[in-house]
Amino acid sequence: MSDIIVQVRDLRKSFGEQQVLRGVDLDIVRGGVTTIIGGSGSGKSVLVKHIIGLLKPDSGAILYEGTDITKLAPKALTPVRNNFGMLFQQSALFDSMTVEENIAFPLIEHTKKSQKEIREIVKEKLRLLGLEGIERKTPAELSGGMRKRVALARAIVLNPQVIIYDEPTTGLDPLMTLNVDNMIKETQEKLKVTAIVISHDMASVFRISDKIAMLYKGEIVEYGDPGVFMDTDKAVVRDFLAASSSPHVRSVV
Q: How confident is the model at residue 251 (pLDDT cuts 50, 70, 90)?
A: very low
Question: Percent of the chain having pLDDT more than 70?
Answer: 95
pLDDT, residue 55, reads 94
Q: How confident is the model at residue 250 (pLDDT cuts 50, 70, 90)?
A: very low
**The pTM of the whole model exceeds 0.85:** yes
Does residue 252 carry a pLDDT above 80?
no
Q: Could you tell me if residue 44 is left (phi over 0), alpha (psi between -120 and 50 degrees) or otherwise beta? A: alpha
The domains found in the chain, sorted by start residue, are 1-82+193-253 (3.40.50.300)
177-196 residue pLDDT tens: 888 899 899 888 888 999 99
Q: What is the mean pLDDT of the chain?
A: 90
Cα three-residue angle 111-117-118, rounded to 5 degrees: 60
Is beta strand 33-37 parallel, antiparallel or unpaired with respect to 211-216? parallel
Separation of alpha carbons 16 and 247, rounded Å: 40
65-112 residue pLDDT tens: 999 999 999 899 988 998 999 887 666 788 899 999 999 999 998 888
Does residue 244 carry a pLDDT above 80?
no
Q: Could you tell me if residue 43 is left (phi over 0), alpha (psi between -120 and 50 degrees) or otherwise beta? A: left
Helices (H) and strands (E) in the chain, counts: 10, 10
Q: How many residues does the chain have?
A: 253
